[in-house]
Amino acid sequence: MSVTNPIPSALREWAQGIVGPVLSVRNVSHDRPNSRVWELTYDTGRAFAKLSPNPTSFGRETRALREVAPGLEPGTVPLLRGADAYEQALLLSLVSGRPVKSLSLTPGGERSLHRQAGSWLRRFHGGPRDLSVQDRQDAANEIVRAAVGADKHLERAGELIRAEERRTVRRHAAELGRIGPLPAAYIHGDFRPIH
């Protein structure tokens, strides 16, 4: 968690317009450059203010919280208290529970937790009838992006990937454009234990 990243004053003011005066702020960002999340305490509770790393992430998360989350089991997903597309800001409710990394799980307990998480994620992903025309277009664009981006990732990998493996990656990337539409679903984008 980064402690050197204070909440931007504009974000704090925006959040206060929704929840009222903020009494305290705690940076709860993950230890990566594009994570910008703050826990806010106010008179009647707590919320999380978040700045999305880019417009695509903001759009996905906002749509998921508006369209998918209300149909999931209450208390298993945060509620969207506010969204500001211009600032790519989200204000989310607190969800009770403890972070996975704080639990002392046996191997059986960890398997059980992963099954529960997988069940929740399956409901989150929804089915083909849950997707709009725009969702399907976004999925098709992601396939194109993955195919075009293969060389960029290979370049970043440098000498970590042998020539034969590079050819395999390029062959599979080229095939993406020929396989036709793939099954599509909502994407969570950050569903992993935090270590």
**pLDDT (tens digit per residue) in 99-111:** 777 888 899 988 9
Domain count, the chain: 2
65: in domain: yes
Q: What's the pTM?
A: 0.68
* Confidence band, pLDDT 50/70/90 cuts, at residue 192: low
pLDDT greater at residue 102 or residue 11 = 11
Identify whether residues 89 and 21 lie together within a single domain: yes
CATH code, 32: 3.30.200
Identify whether residues 168 and 113 lie together within a single domain: yes
32: in domain: yes
Domain membership of residue 40 as a residue range: 17-93
Which pLDDT belongs to residue 195?
46
| Strands in the chain per DSSP E | 22-27, 37-42, 45-51, 80-84, 89-93
Could you tell me if 41 and 23 are in contact, meaning their C-beta atoms sit under 8 angstroms apart? Answer: yes
Identify whether residues 111 and 46 lie together within a single domain: no
Average pLDDT of the chain to the nearest whole number? 86
pLDDT greater at residue 88 or residue 139 = 88
Identify whether residues 86 and 109 lie together within a single domain: no
Beta strand pairing call for 37-42 and 45-51: antiparallel
Q: CA-CA distance, 186 to 64, in Å (whole number)?
A: 7
